[in-house]
Amino acid sequence: MADKLTELARHTIIVADSGDIAQIKAVKAEDCTTNPSLILKAASKPEYDALMDNAVAYAIAHEGEPEKRLELALDKLAVNFGGELSRIVAGYVSTEVDARLSFDVDATVRRAERMIALYREAGVDPKRILIKIAATWEGVQAAAALKEKGIACNLTLIFAKAQAALCGAAGVFLISPFVGRITDWYKAHGVTVTSAEDDPGVRSVREIYDYFRAMNYKTVVMGASFRSVDQVLGLAGCDRLTISPNLLEDLRATEGPVERKLGALPPSANIRPLTLDEKSFRWQMNEDAMATEKLAEGIRSFAKDTETLLSLIRAKLPA
Residue 30, classed as helix, strand or coil, is coil
Sign of CA dihedral 193, 183, 155, 24: negative
**Catalytic-role residue among 4, 41, 45, 132:** 132
Tell me whether residue 132 is one of the annotated catalytic residues.
yes
| Spatial distance between the Cα atoms of 116 and 16, rounded to a whole number of angstroms | 21
| Spatial distance between the Cα atoms of 74 and 80, rounded to a whole number of angstroms | 10
Count of C-beta atoms within a 10 Å radius of residue 99: 25
Residue type, 195: S
Q: In a 10 Å sphere around its CB, with 0-12 CB exposed, 13-18 middle and 19+ buried, how is residue 254 labelled?
A: middle
33 touches 154 (CB < 8 A): yes
How many H helices and E strands in the chain? 14, 8
Q: In a 10 Å sphere around its CB, with 0-12 CB exposed, 13-18 middle and 19+ buried, how is residue 286 labelled?
A: exposed
Active site residues: 132
